[in-house]
Homo-oligomer: A and B are copies of this chain.
Amino acid sequence: MVDSLDNKPPHQVVIIGGGFGGLYAAKALAKAKVDVTLIDKRNFHLFQPLLYQVATGTLSPADISSPLRSVLSKSKNTKVLLGEVNDIDPKAQQVSLGEQVIPYDTLIVATGAKHSYFGKDNWEEFAPGLKTVEDAIEMRRRIFSAFEAAEKETDPEKRRAWLTFVIVGGGPTGVELAGAIAELAYQTLKEDFRNIDTSEARVLLLEGLDRILPPFAPELSQQAEASLEKLGVVVQTKTLVTNIENDVVTLKQGDEVKEIAAKTVLWAAGVKASPMGKVLAERTGAECDRAGRVMVEPDLSIKGYPNIHVVGDLANFSHQNGKPLPGVAPVAMQEGEYVATLIKQKLKGKTLSAFKYSDRGSLAMIGQNLAVVDLGFMKLKGFFAWIFWLLIHIYFLIEFDNKLIVMIQWAWNYVTRKRGARLITGQESLRTVENSQYYKASDTRQPVNV
């Protein structure tokens, strides 16, 4: 016990955000001689890559969430604090949560990103995005309510609008949502309605670039497109959305302008950094990119502030190949772990070479037995890619009990093609279908008593 000889209080590490970046940093510091305080607005870590399965009725929120306290209960040097940081004072080295002030020696900011409507914030009410558990429950409510409304609708045109699902954005989330909704309409729900034929539903996936899944190799994009179309999804590339309003999506394809009547529009396009980026910029003079991400140094610190690190979706790390690293879970995990190692090295008086992201590949689920996996040195598609996707996601689910439950849910869904979590719930769902205004935004105008 050499330590006990010096009486300095332990080095204080404060982490803001319990997503992949923050949580992996905290876990990697579990046995270090530091005090860690992890601050999050929510009391759980959310496994975001599977959120689309909550939105489409396969899994429950708790299946892909782990209580932060429970994940970190064995890290005796770590405190979890539920709350929202509203300011950072880099001179005094402290963060504030309302009245409460927490001092730090090293700060790790990992507050992530939220969806962005490229300045058209009024689109959100018509086309919700998918970042939180509440977002997923809202998407689920809209998807299943649309089938219910179609079942009741007698006007064929309106019925068609209820049965039209438009997904904006052809990245992994958009592809996964489109595939899952197609499976719902063409397989899962087929026997369940009496007035409508759910296989008349249209699922449209819109992408501005010339191919879906732009981070993947072009041949996999093609594979994914072919697989989606086999499932029944209509994929439209080189398609710009110019307006979303009153159940109509306006598109531009080249010079042609089209309107699509659709009651359910889901947003899987842009993201922007969380507001903490702006706070950091104001307080430290850090530069931000157009998406609001904070430009970081090769060691993920902020220029001039070697004890403030930014990791995950909030960081713009462009030192590897000139382009910012993508906003995906593996980047956040590796950045979080890097900063933890850096702190430990510094405490030993050592240094650490610059952060380097080790890209192990990209993967996207399309549907039953269908996925695409790009490992760089190897490309997989179809059944083997699908198995690979399952194994990777199961492996990374933080807590073992979630893994087991998710595996069984998946196995069950695979065999029966059923989806048990098709609940229409939430405040909004408590109005009757007749009387409800369909969009969440109305909640703020006419609140309901439950």
Contacts and interface: CB of A to CB of B under 8 A. Distances in A.
Instruction: Identify the interface centre among A63, A70, A82, A132: most chain B CB within 10 Å of its CB.
Output: A82
B98 A435 contact: yes
Interface string A416-440: 1010111111110110111100001
A200 interface: no
B67 A152 contact: no
Contacts of A97: 432, 434
A282 interface: no
Interface in A132-186: 132-135, 137-138, 144, 148, 151-152
A427 to B, nearest CB: 6
Contacts of A5: none
A239 interface: no
Instruction: Identify the interface centre among A66, A70, A435, A445: most chain B CB within 10 Å of its CB.
Output: A70
Interface string A85-116: 00000000000011110000000000000000
A434 B43 contact: no
A123 interface: no
Nearest to A411: B404
Nearest to A63: B60
Interface stretch (A8-16, A187-195, A314-322, A325-333): A187-195
B444 A43 contact: no
Interface size range of chain A in the complex: 35 or more
A134 B432 contact: no
A100 B149 CA distance: 13
A34 to B, nearest CB: 15
B70 A422 contact: yes
B444 A420 contact: no
Interface in A71-95: 73-74, 79-84
B408 A83 contact: no
Contacts of A449: 441, 444
A379 interface: no
12 contacts: A44-B423, A44-B424, A60-B421, A66-B420, A70-B192, A73-B192, A80-B192, A84-B434, A100-B152, A132-B430, A401-B412, A405-B409
Interface of A: 41-44, 60-63, 65-67, 69-70, 73-74, 79-84, 97-100, 132-135, 137-138, 144, 148, 151-152, 189, 191-195, 399, 401-402, 404-405, 408-409, 412, 416, 418, 420-427, 429-430, 432-435, 440-441, 443-445, 447-450
Given A69-B193, A134-B425, A134-B430, 14 more contacts: A41-B432, A42-B424, A43-B148, A43-B424, A60-B63, A62-B421, A62-B423, A67-B422, A83-B152, A84-B432, A133-B425, A134-B450, A408-B408, A426-B426
